[in-house]
């Protein structure tokens, strides 16, 4: 009987440890208990198509991520038609949230062919349908570095249209308000126009729910000013939606000390930034890996375990000093933030829609009309009046390969095509900051009830 009781309590404890959904409110993320959530994440793409279908591998990686101190991962490619229950549970039990790109190999919004059509929408929807049931899904991306060259800014209205339509689909289906946002290349010539445009206009249904930045401008040794993080902070001050680094961790000249984390989570930036995702989990040709699964692949290795000469499966082994440097750094950082009950969204501000500049990188002239579903760009979109900009209205509740330049002006984007969905389903932290008292009280009550029954 005692053995049975302990087994029941063990199962209840495991259930109690499951992660609660994170909410985007104003320009911050909040836990269910009202405490602010900060991202300490890593980019995770073991294989080209989908790393979230190998349960055993996910369990091995999740265990080491927990030791690292990570509470989130960013996944670029998923197959909506596959079973993800095992991996999502493994990361959930390790206290790790998941952020996903919705586009697929065939639905990436290309700068050279500007359109947003039903084929793209349907594939995005399949990803949302498949993953909306997991409470540890933190957010969904409509794109990654779609704007990476001088002539690419006309993509922006299509990204905004994709966010508009996916948010409307989310709400129409009755899904929880999973935040929908965009991951941008950090290009000096587009600062801060792109982030301002994606959140401007005053209509909360047409803006992104968060803005993320792939930035490699802090290369140890560096400083807040030398890295231009001071400029990034200037542009992020009182931003209307959560903003965070979706890739960071310059490896030039190396080894990486991750001193940028002190700035991101310190007094200079913590009031406006929601954390950072470090690039990347697995060692590849670009030499950014925190872990590896063995020496360079041999010819007798199975093909499905090896891509580009690197083993993608097995027991993860930390690559030091980088792994320990990041582990030590994150262990020393404990941002508390603000409680949701004390947070006033009137402190945030919606910027005006940026105007185009002659000869400049930004070519979208103000609050242009967004393309409708099925529309292809054949000319310039005309500007339209902005709705009344009400900060509270924007308080929504809402593998990448190749070398990194480390310059900060532009990160490489060779994995722009993300996804690989075949067939979707149509309908369809454990954080140290979370209070343990509630779990303890719940278990105590259950013990008492079982004792009475016994």
- With a cut of 60, say whether residue 324 has pLDDT above it: yes
**Contact criterion met (CB below 8 Å) for 135 and 98:** no
Give pairs for 435-441: CB < 8 Å, separation 24+: 435/33, 438/33, 439/13, 439/16, 439/17
Mean pLDDT within 108-133: 95
| Residue 101 bridge partners (DSSP) | 141
**pLDDT recorded at residue 297:** 67
- Cα dist. 428→105, 112, 128, 176, 425 in Å? 22, 33, 8, 12, 6
Question: How far apart are the C-alpha atoms of 301 and 311, rounded to whole Å?
Answer: 8
Question: 36-37 and 28-30: which strand pairing?
Answer: antiparallel
247 is catalytic: yes
Among 93, 247, 322, 429, the active-site one is: 247
Q: If you ran DSSP here, which 8-state letter would residue 454 be given?
A: -
Mean pLDDT within 311-319: 95
CB atoms within 10 A of CB 136: 25
Considering the chain, what percentage of its residues have pLDDT values greater than 70? Answer: 78
Mean pLDDT within 274-292: 96
**Contact criterion met (CB below 8 Å) for 147 and 413:** no
Residue-wise pLDDT for 66-96, tens only, equals 999 999 999 999 999 999 999 999 999 999 9
Q: What's the whole-number average pLDDT of the chain?
A: 84
Mean pLDDT within 432-438: 32
Length of the chain: 454
- 27-31, 90-94, 329-333, 380-384: the lowest-pLDDT one: 380-384
pLDDT bracket for residue 12 (50, 70, 90) = very low
More confident residue, 125 or 389: 125
145 is catalytic: yes
pTM: 0.82
In the chain the first and final C-alpha atoms are separated, in Å, by 8
**pLDDT recorded at residue 294:** 85
Query: What is the four-CA torsion angle of 131, 139, 22, 401, rounded to 10 degrees?
Result: 100
Among 23, 93, 126, 145, the active-site one is: 145
- Name residues whose C-beta falls within 8 Å of residue 277's C-beta, 6 or more positions apart in sequence: 39, 41, 42, 43, 72, 73, 74, 99, 212, 244, 245, 246, 247, 248
At 180 the three-state DSSP class reads: strand
Q: Could you tell me if residue 251 is left (phi over 0), alpha (psi between -120 and 50 degrees) or otherwise beta?
A: alpha
Question: How far apart are the C-alpha atoms of 55 and 32, rounded to whole Å?
Answer: 27
More confident residue, 443 or 321: 321
Residue with tokens 């900009």: 389
**Contact criterion met (CB below 8 Å) for 275 and 247:** no
**Contact criterion met (CB below 8 Å) for 395 and 87:** no
Domains annotated for the chain, with CATH where assigned, are: 23-389 (3.20.20.80)
């Amino acid at each position: 009987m005692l053995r049975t009781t302990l087994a029941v309590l063990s199962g209840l404890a495991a259930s109690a440890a499951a992660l609660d959904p994170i909410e985007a409110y104003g320009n911050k993320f909040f836990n269910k208990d009202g405490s602010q959530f900060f991202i300490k994440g890593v980019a995770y793409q073991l294989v080209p198509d989908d790393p979230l279908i190998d349960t055993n591998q996910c369990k091995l990686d999740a265990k080491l991520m927990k030791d690292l101190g990570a509470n989130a991962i960013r996944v670029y490619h998923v197959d909506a038609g596959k079973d993800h229950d095992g991996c999502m549970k493994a990361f959930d039990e390790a206290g790790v949230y998941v952020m996903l790109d919705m586009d697929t190999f065939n639905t990436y919004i290309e700068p050279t062919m500007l359109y947003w059509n039903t084929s793209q929408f349907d594939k995005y929807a399949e990803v949302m349908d498949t993953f909306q049931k997991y409470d540890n899904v933190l957010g969904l991306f409509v794109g990654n570095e779609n704007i990476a060259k001088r002539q690419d800014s006309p993509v922006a209205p299509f990204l905004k249209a994709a966010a508009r339509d996916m948010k409307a689909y989310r709400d129409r289906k009755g899904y929880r308000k999973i935040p929908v946002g965009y991951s941008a290349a950090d290009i000096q010539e587009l600062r801060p126009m792109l982030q301002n445009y994606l959140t401007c206009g005053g209509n909360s249904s047409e803006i992104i729910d968060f803005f993320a930045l792939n930035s490699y401008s802090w290369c140890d040794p560096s400083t807040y000013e030398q890295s231009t993080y001071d400029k990034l902070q200037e542009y992020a001050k009182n931003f209307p939606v959560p903003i965070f680094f979706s890739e960071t961790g310059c490896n030039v000249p190396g080894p990486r000390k991750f001193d940028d984390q002190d700035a991101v989570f310190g007094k200079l930036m913590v009031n406006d930034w929601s954390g950072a995702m470090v690039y990347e989990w697995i060692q590849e040709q670009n030499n950014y890996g925190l872990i590896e699964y063995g020496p360079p692949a041999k010819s007798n290795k199975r093909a499905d375990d090896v891509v580009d000469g690197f083993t993608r499966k097995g027991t993860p082994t930390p690559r030091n000093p980088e792994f320990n440097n990041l582990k030590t750094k994150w262990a020393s950082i404990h941002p508390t933030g603000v409680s949701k009950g004390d947070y006033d969204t009137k402190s945030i501000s919606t910027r005006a829609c940026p105007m185009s500049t002659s000869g400049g990188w930004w070519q979208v002239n103000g609050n242009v009309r967004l393309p409708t579903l099925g529309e292809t760009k054949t000319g310039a979109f005309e500007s339209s009046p902005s709705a009344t900009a009400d900060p509270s209205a924007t308080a929504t509740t809402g593998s990448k390969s190749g070398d990194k330049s480390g310059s900060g002006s532009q990160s490489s984007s060779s994995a722009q095509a993300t996804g690989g969905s075949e067939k979707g389903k149509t309908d369809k932290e454990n954080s140290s900051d979370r209070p343990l008292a509630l779990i303890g009280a719940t278990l105590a009550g259950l013990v008492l009830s079982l004792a009475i029954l016994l």
